[in-house]
Amino acid sequence: MSEYQQNGTSDSSQTWPNMAHFWMPFTANKQFKANPRLLVSAQGMYYTDIEGNKILDATAGLWCCNAGHGRQEISEAVSKQISQLDFAPSFQMGHPLAFELADKLCQLSPDGLEKVFFTNSGSESVDTALKMALCYHRANGQATRTRFIGRELGYHGVGFGGISVGGIGNNRKTFSQQLLQGVDHLPHTLDIANNAFSHGLPPHGLDKAEVLEQLITLHGAENIAAVIVEPMSGSAGVILPADGYLKRLREITHKHGILLIFDEVITGFGRLGAAFASERWQVTPDMITTAKAINNGAIPMGAVFVSNTIHDTCMHGPDELIEFFHGYTYSGHPVAAASALATLSIYENEQLFDRAKGLELYFEQAVHSLKGLPNVIDIRNTGLVAGIQLAPSDKGVGKRGYAIFDHCFRQGALVRATADIIALSPPLIVEKSQIDDMVNHISDAINAVG
């Protein structure tokens, strides 16, 4: 039992909750409850914790709050919408906001991807996209195309589909007997030996895309439904593909009639200085999965952008009554839709995607100034994302990363640690002085932790 549970309160005016019952996700629960970090409010670039400390948000929450915190426009839209129409059934019924939102979203999406299917999370977006790929091939008279290809170290959420195509061992091994059948993985694109400390897309590793041809030769294109990758792997620690790699995947998938899905749950909505990574790197997939910053993280929401071809083919498929037997009670939820519309207006009015682009060079130079500090073995960046990779300590993998994360938090900055990689993804409203502050916090933490 932690000190807080025993006492029930702290010195601050906030009451500490009883922490016994909430089983926290992706968290070392015992460790957390012995040493909790509780946030109670947020404004702009800062959180406030339960003890009243101000914490600089260097991670946009969890890659979500691209417009910064406490946005009045979003809270007003949500409050108004709850009063006006709190919920509408989503099957065989509609409400105008979901259509309006889909319309607005498609003004941002690449040409040809002008249909939207709403979900409530990134995981649901991924599983929706995988099912849609099967639906498309079936409707297209190619029902043998059922295999999927993901990538090592890819993160695609936690549904059974997502962990099957995902390539993070810890997320799969407990469930390994129950994963989707017929899934292969491309090699990951991390290559510290050749690419350490590159800025932006690294020069080496284009050849890794050619493994796709080998998998196609092995299984037959007629059996493969889709390839799914994050354009930039976020959760595994900001891993970038070599220059030209995504284009090559597109060429190969096109050639063989295989769908290409970009999981842009992290890279979507301005993170890379463009609406999507697809736009930034000029590669248009057949589907894009999104969530998080679609509505600044305000309410659970996700969306899959789908090519007109996939959509139209499913419309004329063998199932006459309903084209795609799939959906969620909360697909296009009116309150979530209102929050997303308000968020998109902020992005547009404040030109936040361009702002991210304008700050990229400053951010890049700031994070690369950490090169040379003890145990820093690589630094990677693109747009307003960076990963600082540390050598594991002799206490075990992840111990150094966690210690740096915790030190930063106690000193007033929220960063993200994945094993021994520290990830930064600040809200796009960040000021240069705040970029300096976050880099200083990390530098102090690295020096303190050793």
Q: Quick check: 274 and 351 in contact, CB under 8 A?
A: no
Find the Cα–Cα–Cα–Cα dihedral 315, 319, 321, 326, rounded to 10°: -80
Instruction: Tell whether residue 127 is a contact of ligand PMP (CB under 6 A).
Output: no
Question: Using CA atoms in the order 109, 111, 113, 116, what is the torsion angle rounded to 10 degrees?
Answer: 50
30: number of Cβ within 10 Å: 9
Is beta strand 147-151 parallel, antiparallel or unpaired with respect to 183-186? parallel
DSSP state of 45: T
Q: Is 57 in the site for ligand PMP (CB under 6 A)?
A: no
Beta bridge partners of 379: 388
The token pair at 395 is: 């206490």
Residue among 383, 380, 381 at smallest CA distance from 359: 383
Number of H helices, E strands in the chain: 17, 15
Nearer to ligand PMP, 246 or 266 (CB): 266
Of 308, 229, 297, residue with least CA distance to 263: 229
User: Across 218-367, where does the E strand assignment appear?
Assistant: 224-229, 259-263, 287-290, 302-306
Please report where in the chains the tokens 């919920």 appear, as a residue: 87
Distances (CA, A) of 418 to 115, 129, 165, 410: 34, 26, 20, 18
Fill in the per-residue mask, 143 to 172: x = in contact with ligand PMP (CB under 6 A), - = not in contact. Answer: ------------xxx---------------
Distances in whole angstroms, Cα of residue 127 to Cα of each of 121, 169, 365? 10, 19, 38
Stretch that binds ligand PMP, among 76-84, 116-124, 374-382, 389-397 (CB under 6 A): 116-124
| 246 interacts with ligand PMP by CB under 6 A | no
122 binds ligand PMP (CB under 6 A): yes
Tell me which of 230, 364, 378, 420 binds ligand PMP, using CB under 6 A: 230
CB of 350 to ligand PMP, least distance (A): 24
CB 92 to ligand PMP: min, Å: 26
Selected range binding ligand PMP among 65-73, 221-229, 259-267, 345-353, rule: CB under 6 A: 259-267
Residue closer to ligand PMP by CB (options 421, 449) is 421
Please, what is the minimum distance in Å from the beta carbon of residue 26 to ligand PMP? Answer: 9
Per CB under 6 A, 123 contacts ligand PMP: yes
Pick the closer one to ligand PMP by CB: 58 or 139.
58
- Taking CB atoms, the residue at the shortest distance from ligand PMP is 122
Q: Is 265 or 335 the residue whose CB approaches ligand PMP more closely? A: 265
What span, in angstroms and rounded, lies between the C-alpha atoms of 98 and 88? 10
Q: Which residue among 101, 291, 298, 340 contacts ligand PMP (CB under 6 A)?
A: 291
Q: Is 349 exposed, middle or buried (0-12, 13-18, 19+ CB in 10 A)?
A: exposed
Binding ligand PMP by CB under 6 A: which of 65, 98, 135, 265? Answer: 265
At its nearest, how many Å lie between ligand PMP and the CB of residue 124?
7
| Residue among 62 and 88 whose Cβ is closer to ligand PMP | 62
Largest CA distance in the chain: 67
> Shortest distance, CB of residue 419 to ligand PMP, whole angstroms?
15
Least separation in angstroms between residue 63's CB and ligand PMP is: 6
Q: Does 121 bind ligand PMP (CB under 6 A)?
A: yes
Count of residues engaged in binding ligand PMP, rule: CB under 6 A: 14
Q: Degrees (nearest 5) of the Cα angle 156, 159, 160?
A: 105
The encoded tokens of residue 109 equal 């999406």
45, 97, 126, 386: residue in contact with ligand PMP (rule CB under 6 A): 126
Between residues 26 and 325, which has the closer beta carbon with respect to ligand PMP? Answer: 26
Stretch that binds ligand PMP, among 117-125, 187-195, 339-347, 409-417 (CB under 6 A): 117-125
* List of residues contacting ligand PMP (CB under 6 A): 121-123, 126, 155-157, 230, 234-235, 263, 265-266, 291
